[in-house]
Structure 1
Amino acid sequence: MNLEQLRSFAEVARIGHFTRAAERLHVAQPSLSRQIATLEAEFGVDLFHRARGRVTLTAAGERLLPLARRMLADAETARDEMAELVGLARGRVRLGATPTLCTTLVAEVLAEFRARHPGIDVEIVERGSRSLIEALGEGGLDLALIVTSVSSGTGRAALSLEPLLQERLVVVSAADAPDPFTGAGPGSPISLSLLAGIPLVAFPENYDLRVALDAAFAAAGLTPEVAVTGAEMDATLSFAERGIGVAVVPAMVALERRNLRITPLADPDLRRTISVARRADMAPTHASAAFRTVIGEVAESLAATHAQEPRYLEPIPVG
């Protein structure tokens, strides 16, 4: 077994097709097929179910895939570490982040990191928190910026999780339209009961934000009035700007949008924790350690910028 065989196996598993995987790897299709056949012969099991035009993993292939990805990631990490140790002015950081953080915190972090370390390449993977945790466990990422509720955890003992910020969820509405919450007083936090009576732009049901809000309404015995459901974040903000409905979003995505009015929520539990995660069983590379430092500094700066009441962002003390 060698890394090229594992790389071929992982790419076929990802694409589900031998010919397209060979094209992505820039090898001849017969050569790739031989690598897979050699790997199967060495293990004594079939790794793929082969059907016309499509291949899928067998039970053995499912077991091997996360191990193969981890071994390939560890090999890349070793190359990066050795390059840094011999003084080459290069390196790489693989950062995962949720979509809302990519447009806010990550953008600020990247700008600062590139100014300090222009020779280090940064690869961004944009997914939901659960998917990012899986990628970390498989060795596909160095760091991940994830969001959780205050009480939830990763469920993975092999991960190191460092909370950075607590971010309030806020209600956004069209800035050029009448305030839908005039009864609460300008800028006053609003209750869920008041929010439930205003047409709402709701995220898809699998969104963590949607799950948290639905749970809060249910706990209060409320059924919200929904104007639109199923919109992604960019569309949700645009709908709110046009006055189609109000939306509950993380504070950071709304703070710089002048076409939106921001109204805080009175429920103190409607907030989320932003954390940076990494594999606990792997020492960070020099590049990822430097990136982690910048993340912490930018997070502190953002919290200080918005420290006035209402506190949309609050730093979480270390320890």
Structure 2
Amino acid sequence: MQLQQLAYFVAVAETRHFTQAAEAVRVAQPSLSKQIRALETELGAPLFSRARGNVTLTAAGEALLPLARRILADAETARREVAELAGLRRGRVRLGATPSLCAGLLADVLARYHGDYPGVELRVEEGGSRDLVRDLARGQLDLALIILPLQSSDPALVTEEILRENLVVASVSDRARRSHMRIDELRGRPMVMFRRGYDVREATLAACRQAGFEPRFAVEGGEMDAVLRFVEAGLGIAVVPSMVLDNRPRLIGTPLVPGLRRTVALAHRKDVEPTRAAQAFRATLLTFLTDAARDGTLPAGIEALATSRIPSA
């Protein structure tokens, strides 16, 4: 089994068309077909069904696809790691992060890292923890900032708790500011709710149900920026991470009683050692949190958990 064959297989699986796949990988279509047949012969099973001109994956193809993607991603990571060791002063960090972190402190961390390592390519994937964990398992990310705890069905990951953040009720700032709000006071209030897959959505639903009621949605299905804009427009209130209200003067955040908090961790696959570029990012992140905690510049509602550690690249 060759990496080239796996790359051809993935291309056909994604396009469901042999000619288009050949164009995507820049090879003649007969050569691609020949390599696919050789791969099927070696594996002892057909990977595609070609009935009536429609190309679909067989059961064997469905089983191979996630493994092939992961193998190809790991091979690319290996190439880049060797290039770093060869002293080429380049590399890549593929980082996943939740929307609240992308809208909050992550930009400052990335700016510091880019200043220290300008030759390293940075790729950021924004999404909910479930999506980020899946992408880590597939080898599509090197590191991810996710919400704990992990589910029992999640792949084996190494997690490092780095901060804890409060969830607050966001509302328009012309309302009277309150010191706190009880969970049961959300009963019957119109709420702006995140799309499925957001960790904040699940935390909000769980807290409301524990208090004995189902929340009433005025709007449902938004991303972070959309939810905040809908609240600003007066469509309802929303439970959000406190850090996202920085630079949102039209919104106020009211703490909940009992408090809702969540823990953010830096995660990577257990079976793959992070590249030197990824290790350097970890060191930069921990140093940034340590400095911000010392200087009192962390966003409101954030507690750094990594300030006692000595970062090491």
Q: Which moved more, 1:124-133 or 1:108-117?
A: 124-133
Q: Could you tell me how far apart the structure 1 residues matched to 2:28 and 2:101 are? A: 40
Q: Could you tell me how far apart the structure 1 residues matched to 2:280 and 2:125 are? A: 18
Measured at CA, do residues 10 and 159 of structure 1 come closer, stay the same or move farther in structure 2, by a change above 3 Å? Answer: same
Q: Counterpart amino acid of 1:282?
A: V
Matched residue of 1:266: which SS?
strand
- Answer whether contact 1:94 1:124 (CA < 8 A) is retained: yes
Q: Which residue of 2 aligns with 1:64?
A: 64
Matched residue of 1:245: which SS?
coil
Q: Deviations over 1:58-79 (max 9, x none)?
A: 2212222232223212221221
Q: Counterpart amino acid of 2:240?
A: V
Q: Counterpart amino acid of 2:199?
A: D
Q: Deviations over 1:224-246 (max 9, x none)?
A: 34322222222111111111211
Q: Counterpart amino acid of 1:159?
A: L
- Answer whether contact 1:303 1:313 (CA < 8 A) is retained: no
Q: Could you tell me how far apart the structure 1 residues matched to 2:34 and 2:135 are? A: 28
Q: Which residue of 1 aligns with 2:304?
A: 315
Identity %: 50
The answer to whether 1:207 aligns with 2:198 is yes
Q: Which residue of 2 aligns with 1:246?
A: 237
Q: Could you tell me how far apart the structure 2 residues matched to 1:295 and 1:138 are? A: 24
Q: Could you tell me how far apart the structure 1 residues matched to 2:51 and 2:95 are? A: 36
Q: Could you tell me how far apart the structure 1 residues matched to 2:65 and 2:241 are? A: 35
1:6-155 pair list within 5 angstroms: 6-51=6-51, 54-148=54-148, 151-153=149-151, 155=153
- Answer whether contact 1:133 1:154 (CA < 8 A) is retained: no
Q: Which residue of 2 aligns with 1:183?
A: none
* Contiguous gaps of at least 5 residues in structure 2: none
Matched residue of 1:81: which SS?
helix
Q: Could you tell me how far apart the structure 2 residues matched to 1:53 and 1:190 are? A: 61
Measured at CA, do residues 223 and 132 of structure 1 come closer, stay the same or move farther in structure 2, by a change above 3 Å? Answer: closer
Measured at CA, do residues 198 and 156 of structure 1 come closer, stay the same or move farther in structure 2, by a change above 3 Å? Answer: closer
Q: Counterpart amino acid of 2:81?
A: E
Quote how far apart the aligned CAs of 1:205 are: 4.2
Q: Which residue of 1 aligns with 2:271?
A: 281
Q: Which moved more, 1:92-101 or 1:53-62?
A: 53-62
Number of equivalences: 307
Quote how far apart the aligned CAs of 1:307 are: 6.2
The answer to whether 1:178 aligns with 2:175 is yes
Quote how far apart the aligned CAs of 1:12 are: 2.5
Q: Could you tell me how far apart the structure 1 residues matched to 2:74 and 2:48 are? A: 24
- Answer whether contact 2:129 2:198 (CA < 8 A) is retained: no
Q: Which residue of 2 aligns with 1:192?
A: 183
Q: Deviations over 1:250-279 (max 9, x none)?
A: 1222222122111111222x2221111111
Q: Could you tell me how far apart the structure 1 residues matched to 2:14 and 2:289 are? A: 34
Q: Which residue of 2 aligns with 1:272?
A: 262
Q: Which residue of 2 aligns with 1:165?
A: 163
- Answer whether contact 1:17 1:53 (CA < 8 A) is retained: no
- Answer whether contact 1:10 1:65 (CA < 8 A) is retained: yes
Q: Which moved more, 1:112-121 or 1:225-234?
A: 225-234
Q: Which residue of 1 aligns with 2:285?
A: 295
CA RMSD in angstroms, aligned pairs only: 2.5
Q: Could you tell me how far apart the structure 1 residues matched to 2:230 and 2:34 are? A: 53
Quote how far apart the aligned CAs of 1:195 are: 2.4
* Contiguous gaps of at least 5 residues in structure 1: 180-185
Quote how far apart the aligned CAs of 1:207 are: 3.0
Q: Could you tell me how far apart the structure 1 residues matched to 2:298 and 2:95 are? A: 27
- Answer whether contact 2:128 2:197 (CA < 8 A) is retained: no
Matched residue of 1:265: which SS?
strand
Q: Normalising by structure 2, report the TM-score.
A: 0.88
Q: Deviations over 1:263-311 (max 9, x none)?
A: 111222x222111111122222211110111122234455564669xx6
- Answer whether contact 2:167 2:242 (CA < 8 A) is retained: yes
Q: Could you tell me how far apart the structure 1 residues matched to 2:66 and 2:46 are? A: 16
Q: Normalising by structure 1, report the TM-score.
A: 0.86
Measured at CA, do residues 276 and 243 of structure 1 come closer, stay the same or move farther in structure 2, by a change above 3 Å? Answer: same
Q: Counterpart amino acid of 1:313?
A: I
